[in-house]
């Protein structure tokens, strides 16, 4: 094959994957909570939230199925976080505003359980409000954290 040419290789189906065999009964019908740890930082503001916004704008994140939770040490409100990231999302004010309403912010420490318990409570309340059957909700965690918060 010469340079500039692509080769397509068909792989065996995912049905053979041992992970899927073990977890094939896991339902995926509940709501999806995306949790951004480090939500008040530059990485989240400039990259993570804009990427999530583009997925939303393209129809991959449906507002009736997805909610985004930001978690960080900074003590700010939901609206303050939304204001911080608004300028990085785009020019379509109405679409941006609808996306920003999907975001809830929880403040807490990374080295104690209290903040994470509050975060879990907020996520659980949202899941219940969406009438998700127990065990059907999904949680995706994204770590936009500085190295200083990781234990040695």
| Both tokens assigned to 24 | 């094939």
Q: What is the pLDDT of residues 120-135, one digit of tens each?
A: 999 999 998 888 777 7
Cα end-to-end distance, the chain, whole Å: 47
Q: Please give the torsion angle defined by the CA atoms of residues 28, 29, 34 and 35, in that order, rounded to the nearest 10 degrees.
A: -80
| Both tokens assigned to 52 | 């999530």
Q: Name the phi and psi angles at 131, rounded to 5.
A: 55, 35
- Contact predicate 72/41, CB 8 Å: yes
Longest dimension (CA), the chain: 58
Q: What is the pLDDT of residues 41-87, one digit of tens each?
A: 999 999 999 999 999 999 999 998 999 999 999 999 999 999 999 99
């Amino acid at each position: 094959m010469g340079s500039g040419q692509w080769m397509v290789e068909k792989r065996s189906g995912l049905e053979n994957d041992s992970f899927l065999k073990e977890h094939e009964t896991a339902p995926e019908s509940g709501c999806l909570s995306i949790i951004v740890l480090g939500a008040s930082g530059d990485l989240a503001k400039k990259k993570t939230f804009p990427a999530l916004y583009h997925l939303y704008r393209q129809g991959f994140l449906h507002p009736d199925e997805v909610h985004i939770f930001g978690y960080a040490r900074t003590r700010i409100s939901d609206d303050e976080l939304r204001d911080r990231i608004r300028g990085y999302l785009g020019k379509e004010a109405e679409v941006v505003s609808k996306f920003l309403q999907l975001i809830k912010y929880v403040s807490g420490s990374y080295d104690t359980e209290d903040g994470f318990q509050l975060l879990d409570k907020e996520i659980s309340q949202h899941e219940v409000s969406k009438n998700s059957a127990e065990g059907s909700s999904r949680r995706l965690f994204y770590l936009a954290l500085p190295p200083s918060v990781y234990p040695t």
